[in-house]
Amino acid sequence: MARILVAEDEPDIRHLIALTLEFNGFDVVSVNDGFEAIEAAKVGGFDLIVLDVRMPRTSGYDACRQLRKFAVTKNTPIVFLSAKGQESEVETGLDAGADEYILKPFAPNDLVERINYYLAKSKK
């Protein structure tokens, strides 16, 4: 079972993402912001990380940049899930080291499909 870290500051959205992923067989750890994501990820053991962009304390962009510096997470797939869909926002996310940038609102099945794609790709 793949273990996924989800960082989202909106409790309802965080809960929806976690339920969607758990329903599809993933082990999910949810945190409130980018700072907590960095701290949780340092311990390791995550197969994929989902980050919101706009979060308190540490943005998703900054968290992604930090996560790419750690040996334990430098190759872990990172997916942004954000309502900020301007081209410059997407470009900034990918430049920060994300593998994918998915826009909110999202279709739960599409999210699971993209996560499965990156999990399969990372095992090759």
In a domain, 11, yes or no: yes
In the chain, the number of structural domains is 1
Give how far the C-alpha of residue 22 lies from the chain's centroid of Cα atoms, to the nearest Å. 15
Q: What is the CATH number of the domain that holds 72?
A: 3.40.50.2300
11 contacts: CB under 8 Å, gap ≥ 6? none
* pLDDT digits 0-9 by tens, 2-47: 999 999 999 999 999 999 999 999 999 999 999 999 999 998 799 9
In a domain, 72, yes or no: yes
* pLDDT digits 0-9 by tens, 75-98: 999 999 988 778 888 999 999 999
- Helical packing angle, 60-67 and 34-43, nearest 10°: 20
In a domain, 124, yes or no: no
In a domain, 7, yes or no: yes
In a domain, 71, yes or no: yes
Length of the chain: 124
Residue 28 sits in which domain range? 3-119
Q: Please give the Cα distance from 28 to 5 (Å, whole number).
A: 6
